[in-house]
Amino acid sequence: MCHYFLRVFIQLSFCIILVFLSSESLIAQTIEGYVFIDSNGNSKMDADEKGLNGVMISNQKEVVLTDENGHFKIKPIEGNFIFVTKPEAYQFNLDKYNNPEFYFLYQTKQIKEDLKYPISEPLEIVPQVLYFPVYENPGEDQHSCLLMGDPQMRNDKNLIYYKEGIIPFLAAKNADFYVILGDIAHNKLEILPKEKQVSATLGIPGYRVMGNHDMNLRATGNNYANETFKRVYGPNYYSFEYGRFHYIILNTVIYKGWWEEIGAPGNYYGGLTIEQTKWLENDLKHVPSDKTIVLFSHIPLYNFYVSRPSLQRVFKSLENHKKIFAVSGHLHNIMAYDYNEELGWQNSAEFEGLVAGAVCGSWWSGPVDENNIPFSTCTDGSPKGFFQLYSNSGEYNYVFNPINYPFEYQFRVNVINDEIWVNWFVGKTTDSVQVFIDSDTEALNLINFTGKDPFIISNVKNNKQMDDISNTGHLWKAKLPADLAPGYHLIKVLARDSKGRLFNGYKVINTDM
């Protein structure tokens, strides 16, 4: 009898172990794949084609490297992407919308929430091996990209504004890729695939950041708030490289979920999930300290807008890198700044920030131009526009391109009572601005201050533009000379930024008025 119970116990124990091991094998299963140089362009890994060594692969949490054969193994995470970080001097195949094919969505379960807009369907079959073809892309040491804040299109009329009032200006620039810094839509997510079609006409790769108006607002929480964005564009955070630059797309929007009691969208806040910050830490471990890091986010990585714990984790991940540039949107104004101890940055590394305005300006409002497209001045008095980032062997510069104005239009100049005010759109508070009157060689040195731009105040008052007016720190002023003769005078503005670049602007004023 004892032998019988012992035998039954052993058999039951063996079954339990088998079930346990079987469950573990499902949990711990890996997906393998190859990153290879597609020499003949057939998107297949042929016997004579070489794998690429040392390429970063991620499941949006862990990061592994390919071996000398281009092979990798990584554990998939339900609902996450497996993606390849574009390696320096290589490019992926582009889809019909000119978007790089660098990712695979591992989703085996149906999302049961009603998210209102289309989302990805579960996989019917999980592929045994993933293949990511790349081809050589020489000359990346010098490259440039176009940076667009907030198109924020709520309907097809706004899409026409974008198509006819923004895209032609972008197309006139010679660039290697573009980045849209979030709020592509204005809660109406049917705009997202339409934007992708319109932007494809630029003929260059595009990368997009998740914005707070690009979310599935019906989601019960943050877990499924990005599903339509993911279906249309791919991963909501990832990295890629061009030349000596390591670019990182971040998702800085955390959603608290649909407010069922009142049938309305819930709140959101600026931050990064723990999983994303863990990925960021793992990603940057594999990036040499002498590569320039460029962070793209929607909500600025700034302690007033992003939660302090998130910001501290981001800063911790960056502490071994020498040169960093953070670019964002969200605010519908321009703000150029440097990170310092006041902003929580304790490191001596060069760390610069830019809030890049909005191509929709003040939400496509205000007086219209001859093409019936709103001028839509931004809330700080800067024109709607976009930036171009120029990169060369780890060094960079950026320029602002105002829409409907010549490139040289980098200032607004106003006379307020007996003072001259200069709104230098991309000026930092530490930059210097001088004014010369007529042929006078003696400069007036202007003082930086924070205030509201008089042009946008007048615009709102007289033209029924959206009444969001923001304080801005890129204003300078000085008193006009007491002995200035009545009449017309030519004002020349000379501004110098922290990199030594000079900017000129001109304005005719009338002291009789």
Domain residue ranges of the chain, discontinuous segments joined by + = 29-134, 411-510
267: Cα separation from own chain's centroid: 21
pLDDT digits (tens, 9 = 90+) for 120-159: 999 999 998 999 999 999 999 999 999 999 999 999 999 9
**Percentage of the residues of the chain whose pLDDT score is greater than 90:** 88
pLDDT digits (tens, 9 = 90+) for 26-61: 333 899 999 999 999 999 999 999 999 999 999 999
From CA 239, how far away is CA 291, in angstroms rounded? 13
- Reported in sequence order, the residue ranges of 329-462 that DSSP labels E, i.e. its strands, are 334-338, 350-356, 385-392, 395-402, 411-416, 419-424, 432-437, 444-445, 447-451
From CA 335, how far away is CA 357, in angstroms rounded? 8
Q: How many CB atoms lie within 10 A of CB 12?
A: 10
pLDDT, residue 389, reads: 99
Q: How many CB atoms lie within 10 A of CB 122?
A: 12
Does residue 299 contact residue 306 with C-beta atoms inside 8 Å? Answer: yes
pLDDT, residue 464, reads: 72
Q: What is the mean pLDDT of residues 318-345?
A: 97
pLDDT, residue 466, reads: 75
From CA 295, how far away is CA 325, in angstroms rounded? 6
From CA 403, how far away is CA 505, in angstroms rounded? 17
pLDDT digits (tens, 9 = 90+) for 399-452: 999 999 999 999 999 999 899 999 999 999 999 999 999 987 889 999 999 999
Whether the per-residue pLDDT at 10 is higher than 70: the answer is no
From CA 141, how far away is CA 155, in angstroms rounded? 39
Nearest to 151 by CA among 205, 201, 192, 207: 192
Whether the per-residue pLDDT at 2 is higher than 60: the answer is no
Q: How many CB atoms lie within 10 A of CB 68?
A: 10
CA angle 457, 458, 461 (to 5 degrees): 90
Q: What is the mean pLDDT of residues 332-339?
A: 98
Q: Which fold has domain 411-510?
A: Immunoglobulin-like (2.60.40)
- Which of 175-179, 298-302, 460-464, 473-477 is predicted with the least confidence, judged by mean pLDDT? 460-464
**Percentage of the residues of the chain whose pLDDT score is greater than 70:** 94
pLDDT digits (tens, 9 = 90+) for 205-221: 999 999 999 999 999 99
- Superfamily name and number for 29-134: Carboxypeptidase-like, regulatory domain (2.60.40.1120)
Confidence of residue 5 (pLDDT cuts 50, 70, 90): very low
- Tell me whether strands 129-136 and 31-37 are parallel, antiparallel or unpaired: parallel
pLDDT digits (tens, 9 = 90+) for 291-304: 999 999 999 999 99
Does residue 198 contact residue 208 with C-beta atoms inside 8 Å? Answer: no
pLDDT, residue 440, reads: 79
pLDDT, residue 459, reads: 82
- Which of 6-15, 182-191, 226-235, 491-500 is predicted with the least confidence, judged by mean pLDDT? 6-15
Whether the per-residue pLDDT at 21 is higher than 60: the answer is no
From CA 14, how far away is CA 446, in angstroms rounded? 83
The two tokens of residue 468 are: 């969001």
pLDDT digits (tens, 9 = 90+) for 87-106: 999 999 999 999 999 999 99
- The dihedrals phi and psi of 467, each to the nearest 5 degrees, come to -90, 20
More confident call, 85 vs 4: 85
Q: Do 29-134 and 411-510 have matching folds?
A: yes
pTM of the model: 0.93
